[in-house]
Amino acid sequence: MPGPPVSKVRAVETARRAVGADAAELVRLRAVMLAGLTGRDPAGEEWRRNAAVVLRTRLAEPEPRLVAFVVDRPGASTGEPAGLAACAVGTVEDRLPGPEDPTGRTGYVFNVATDPDCRRRGLSRLCTAALLDWFRAQRVGRVDLRASPDGESLYRELGFVRSPAPAMRLQIPAPDA
């Protein structure tokens, strides 16, 4: 579900760091991203409510471990922000240091999304580059992500390479209430 229609997004030079008030728009862009991956609108309101609560809480922490960088969508006639056009979200995790990651501080990039009518303008690049700068300031030694086919070229241009270790996942069902 794209944001409000606009003729164009004004030229921007930087992304800004998201605040708790951006939570609803970050969740909306997450749904845009998920729909792009699966080909259908992600169902359910519970995940959206939960994601908004997590974002509002974690973005407001004094020393956050989760941050987001965003580009505002200008209003069609006023030039005032009218939601978000793009975002990139990331977290920092302290892991056991190793030979390829001597600090043990690992970043993870996710939820890189741009509204369909704002694509091909470098907005995801701005958000992701700002997130990578934040990781550097946090002394993160390694940054991981999972790239969609559409996003892989962007990440390669930013210096990401394929990892030799394939990802695996275990889905643990919620306990019965």
Average pLDDT per block of 10 residues along the chain, 177 residues long: 45 83 96 90 93 97 96 70 91 92 93 93 96 96 89 94 84 80
Residue-wise pLDDT tens digits, 58-70: 999 999 999 999 9
pLDDT score recorded for residue 168: 84
- Angle, alpha carbons 100-102-103 (nearest 5°): 130
Please name which of 133, 77, 82 lies closest in space to residue 107, comparing C-alpha atoms. Answer: 133
User: pTM of the full predicted structure?
Assistant: 0.86
**Cβ contacts of residue 26 below 8 Å, gap of 6+?**
18, 51, 52, 55, 68, 70, 84, 87, 89, 111
pLDDT score recorded for residue 7: 39
Please name which of 132, 134, 136 lies closest in space to residue 145, comparing C-alpha atoms. Answer: 132
Could you tell me the residue ranges of all domains in the chain? 16-157
Per DSSP, the three-state class of 84 is: strand
DSSP class per residue in 13-73? S--EE--GGGHHHHHHHHHHHHHHHHSSPPP-SHHHHHHHHHHHHHHT-SS-SEEEEEEEE
pLDDT score recorded for residue 82: 80
Whole-angstrom distance, CA of residue 51 vs CA of residue 138: 24
The CATH fold of domain 16-157: Aminopeptidase (3.40.630)
Phi, psi of 118 (to 5 degrees): -115, 5
